[in-house]
Structure 1
């Protein structure tokens, strides 16, 4: 059984844009497959596309249906910068591992961009620079050290003084780091397209299907469902986001509540290059723009999972985010046109757990995404696709459950 969560509430801005329906079928009988994937959000969709690209027989299951979990709640700042600054992560796990985690994240963003282009997916893909702004976690001096750490890892970053930040972007803050090559996209359009591509290659999509207990062994995995039919698979991949199956360890994983708003379109008032922005603060503010000129802004994260309390705070948190947005960008109309709340998983290091589940033969899982959910989902699709093909990913131990 899953540890169920009400993953979001309110109305995310992505529902303002039409997305083609993803066809699913009811599961009415026992079936067999090479790989069963639990979850049809962004991580499950990426996994299904990657595995079907390798010619694997895939079945996707979801207790709600495609795109109905936490995927629409993301603000979709697809960045290579991990939540944990490189200079800080180096102290936590060592310089070599920290540098490799950041480099792999950068590679994942590049691979995702290429993947979208090669598959001719229309999801509003655009390249955007990113501004990491000094705050109560990293001062200007700390940002200089962070820039140096990134440079040593081969990750190009430019340190901006207060005057440079004001001149180049109109932002009045003490300092910032400027990086390039991050991705702006519509997460619902991307997820739906990946699922449709997988289905065109033969993947079978079943929903609503609630997964119950499963038995894992050397010969494969037998998955029971709440309504009776079973799935016999050679491998099981748990891509259920922040609703984990009971058999997946919760160690070093916690769920956090977050809030976000989106303004009305106001293209004329947007800042140079529509750069992503996020603060080196706790709690931090993060923002981006949409193609039609809306400003998406989120933050005010809190470490609790009470969905009722989270939802009660939408009004208060939205007002606070709106006020912060106005202080950062005085020319923007910060009035929310959309407001929503969501839950996401995180780990102390900010790195995800990806790979074989301990003591569960032929079972794989992805958990703990932080603010890099889409980037880490890309890494997961690469790592697990390689593992299921009998290959070794060079970074699998970096993200593994036994690290």
Structure 2
């Protein structure tokens, strides 16, 4: 959902458009040359409107322009939630880290996330196992569950005030999975030990007020304010020695034999043992794994109305395409979204905001009649989607010591927590049991 589900934010930032440069002669040609930014291509406008989280207002992380050349262990490009979680993991490993963003920290698509931190992958377990096999599907679902747990632990460790709350999830029948299909899906999850059960109509109505045949009821998910989370992570990183620089345009990334050299538009250079690209959907000109596409999505937040909210305050989403999803907030609002469409034209996306708000409101009203579904905040954004709902995480093909995070689908923030572990281990030369699930190509 936008981000944690940017449809489903999950969550990406950094506004750098990258494309592979022509091969150079000699050693660089054997590495498929440098990765070069194309300044003539305008960065994608990742969101429009006023996301609810920006209205609350928290102190932005301090960042400065780059005034000198640097030599560090790792350079991270991207000032959103993915870059923040990766930077945190690298600092945990005792590495020196410098971070760069073209515009500013937490100014991309992260604030557009609805930040439903679900372990449930967009692709149902019963469908995913037919795509990648039962064992790999089980590992993917369990790694997603562990991502939520890891994120909760880091929030507690760092003492971040970001409105994190553990939540159950109600997964409603729809046009992708009807109630009989949900029965099979719940059984498949139970067989691998996930905390999901099938509940009947009466139980669903008691928990949510929704009148449907039943739902899959799952423990182990959560909600958060994505802007507070990202800003808190960046402030913690800066206090622990990370160098945060913005606005900085990285115009050239050249992998060498032992180090990677980054060049800026102000003629500074950064020498790093490794580089992590956490630049979000703008990265797709460099990396476009099979089945990848950019989708437009819309979200809204109602006025506060605590008296009309459902008893359990669980996360709610449908097994439908397009689907509706919703959650509550600390001040008694409902955040809802969906209505995704397979295009990335910014003007077209933005022009549809009024119509999409009306459609989301009608769907929400049918589901929860007591709610006042008029939007108090409305916004639109883009997110990445892969064919199987899994992210792409790992070393960039043909670019040694260059790693990338592309958190496809609805679990963007959860997938970013997974990416932080995988990339930390890769840079340290340690194995990760699930690298094969997420690698590029």
Cα gap change, 1:220/1:23 in structure 2, threshold over 3 Å: closer, same or farther? same
Q: Name the residue aligned to 1:182.
A: 221
Q: Name the residue aligned to 1:222.
A: 261
Does the alignment pair 1:127 with 2:142?
no
Q: Name the residue aligned to 1:15.
A: 54
What's the TM-score once normalised by structure 2's chain length? Answer: 0.89
Does the alignment pair 1:390 with 2:429?
yes
Q: What's the offset of the Cα at 1:250?
A: 4.3
Task: For residues 36-81 of structure 1, give each alpha carbon's deviation from its aligned partner in whole angstroms, at most 9, with x where no partner exists.
Answer: 0010100000011111121110010001111100000000000100
What's the TM-score once normalised by structure 1's chain length? Answer: 0.97
- Which one of 168, 180, 189 corresponds to residue 141 of structure 1? 180
Does the alignment pair 1:349 with 2:364?
no
Does the alignment pair 1:366 with 2:401?
no
Q: What's the offset of the Cα at 1:379?
A: 0.1
Q: What's the offset of the Cα at 1:245?
A: 6.5
Task: For residues 119-152 of structure 1, give each alpha carbon's deviation from its aligned partner in whole angstroms, at most 9, with x where no partner exists.
Answer: 1111011111000000011000100010011011
Cα gap change, 1:368/1:119 in structure 2, threshold over 3 Å: closer, same or farther? closer
User: Within 5 A, what are the aligned runs for 1:1-400?
Assistant: 2=17, 4-244=43-283, 246-400=285-439
Structure 1 segments (4+ residues) deviating >4 Å: none
Count of equivalent residues: 402
**Matched residues in 2 for 1:381 and 1:70: separation?**
18
**SS of the counterpart of 1:242?**
helix
**Matched residues in 1 for 2:45 and 2:160: separation?**
29
**Matched residues in 2 for 1:43 and 1:370: separation?**
14
Contact preservation (8 Å) 1:218, 1:362: no
What CA RMSD, in Å, does the superposition of the two structures yield over aligned residues?
1.2
**SS of the counterpart of 2:290?**
coil
After superposing the two structures, state which structure 1 stretch, 220-229 or 327-336, moved more.
220-229
**Matched residues in 2 for 1:168 and 1:269: separation?**
13
**Matched residues in 2 for 1:248 and 1:84: separation?**
22
**SS of the counterpart of 2:283?**
coil
